[in-house]
Structure 1
């Protein structure tokens, strides 16, 4: 029986673990299939406070883990395949058959970027291929970049990247954009954005130090061509990692967990959510870390209140 189990080890989960451990709650942290979360695919993190010269994403996550361990957090490798949240204590089932029991659960499983699944794409994530313009745009100052996508996210990222890149090319497989009209108009009026619609991405072209371009096929003629680029930003959306919950918690239409305003409380008391799994908008390391602290404090308060109720109940029975 654990007092608190944290599922996920990105900035949110590790911050929650630090706070829980400092409160002497001895949390268990389930690392999942990608320990450290999406930051482990980012080479340099320059916008996390406290690191004026930047820090490698892997180093930042490693430091946060060591800090949690220092205060008493325990870590367990594995992936949670399903959970039973219908009654407390909650039951978590790991792949391989092991079952864990806890009085509370903090969900920090994050969200995964949708990828194109074309050759060289996955291999060059963090080395020229990115899914976050806010995170990596600065590294492409004065260079050519490509944004793949036609929705609001693609338009927003394209417009943002024009602050740094000398040329931004939007590649979309349809001949019409899916973005809202206001977002389209904003991008269309940006002179640094070029348009290559009705083209299907086929392959990321490697370069000497990263990527050198993107091979595409013209959907009208069938001709193939290569657009030169120093960076390729895939902006076709994200999906929250909530499938294993099997619909036991309230979510929005996209599957992101809904929390009560100004808290981390989900629709089931004792279950809390933090990080990208409940944040479809900001998706930043610092906002995730902040929400992890909130989840830990909410969790600590919940455990104190339930413990007090149990003590009062036992006292009433005795007298």
Structure 2
């Protein structure tokens, strides 16, 4: 029986494995179908990770993490977890090939993925001018014009963030009203360099070998096409939380989630089910930054050791 089953091999899962094994847990397995590292390995440039003075790719940042985190006994099983259940004090982890393992505790660190808007050029230019992280990539457009697609709280908050870096932000939204909180809308409207481009559809993001050079939007009222010449497009149309392993046979979930499907945790990363923890982007109020996910993993591991002790 495992002391701890970690589901997910990104920064949260890897750090949890390091702290748990170094902290004395003997049987700890991390379930990750591919190579560990997480979504950040797809980022081309990172310059805001503490202690890393040079700009590097996500792959470069994460390359040494698996070896360090496995040094104290963390095992890596290349399997996808399909379901986690609990009977009494014991969890059962079922993988997609039908195999099961029992565990005294479980950490869910599967993360979330940005939802795609579905416009032409989105896949082609993702990472080459299209981004889903203003904190990560906003600085590269300092004193330049950018466009942001979305109309919820996150979109408006990120537009305000970008307005402090960029010379102008075009806020592109398919409706003429926003889904954000009134206070967030008021804050956005107070920014003089945010121009609202509403009641439009994104027809296309285009560019060249160097990346994005602009996007075209179409008015829903007149059908007029407007061309916005920008080198950067940020997309915030929601995220899909990877909470499938928590789904039970009857359609319910093993622990409490919020309306967006994010796992509700306290400051110790505890869920509503004793012995079940969640860390990183899968939890509520996650900052969606590598350093924060790693911190979550360490916090969870320290408290799992206490729980098992």
Settle same-fold status: TM greater than 0.5: yes
Task: Please give the per-residue CA displacement for 1:141-160, whole angstroms capped at 9, x wherever unaligned.
Answer: 12221100112211111111
Q: Give yes or no for contact 1:151–1:178 (8 Å, CA) kept in 2.
A: yes
Query: Which residue pairs with 1:257 in the alignment?
Result: 263
Alignment partner, residue 2 of structure 1: 2
Per the alignment, residue 17 of structure 1 pairs with 17
Name the structure 1 match of 2:68.
Answer: 67
Would you say 1:224 and 2:225 are equivalent positions? Answer: yes
Whether contact under 8 Å (2:280, 2:286) holds in the other structure is no
Looking at structure 1, the residues matched to 256 and 94 of structure 2 have their Cα atoms a distance apart, in angstroms, of 20
Deviation at 1:242, TM superposition (A): 1.1
Mapped to 2, the partners of 1:110 and 1:248 lie a distance apart of 17
Distance 1:77 1:118, change over 3 A: farther
Note the C-alpha offset of 1:172. Answer: 0.3
Is the CA contact 1:274–1:291 (under 8 Å) kept in the aligned structure 2? yes
Partner of 1:45, secondary structure, is: coil
Counterpart in the other structure of 1:311: none
Q: Is the 8 A contact 1:111 1:277 kept in 2?
A: yes
Structure 2: how far apart are the matches of 1:83 and 1:123?
A: 36
CA–CA distance in structure 2, aligned partners of residues 223 and 145 of structure 1: 21
Cα deviation, 1:97-141, whole Å, max 9, x if unaligned, reads 222222211111112222212233134332211111111111111
Sort the Cα spacing of 1:93 and 1:220 in 2 relative to 1 into closer, same or farther, 3 A: same
Distance in 1 of aligned mates of 2:73 and 2:14: 12
5+ long unaligned stretches in structure 1 = 305-319
How many residues align? The count is 303
- The answer on 1:181 being equivalent to 2:191 is no
| TM alignment of 1:81-120, pairs within 5 A | 81-120=82-121
CA contact (8 A) 1:41 1:125 kept: no
Summarize the Cα distance change of 1:78–1:217 in structure 2 as closer, same or farther, 3 Å threshold: farther
- Alpha-carbon separation, structure 2, partners of 1:273 and 1:141: 35
Tell me the distance in 2 between the aligned counterparts of 1:187 and 1:151.
12
Normalised to the residue count of structure 1, the TM-score between the two structures is: 0.88
Structural RMSD (CA): 1.9
3-state secondary structure, aligned to 1:142: coil
Per-residue CA shift, 1:24-83, capped at 9, x if unaligned? Answer: 424211124684222123222222111122332122222221211222212122321112
Partner of 1:222, secondary structure, is coil
Structure showing greater Rg = 1
**Cα distance in 2, alignment partners of residues 226 and 100 from structure 1:** 55
- The verdict on how the C-alpha distance between 1:279 and 1:126 changes in structure 2, with shifts beyond 3 A counting, is farther
2:284 to 271, 279, 287: 279
Which residue number in structure 1 is paired with residue 168 of structure 2? 167
Q: TM-score under structure 2 normalisation?
A: 0.91
1:217 & 1:35 partners in 2: Cα distance?
A: 41
Which one is further off, 244-253 or 84-93?
84-93
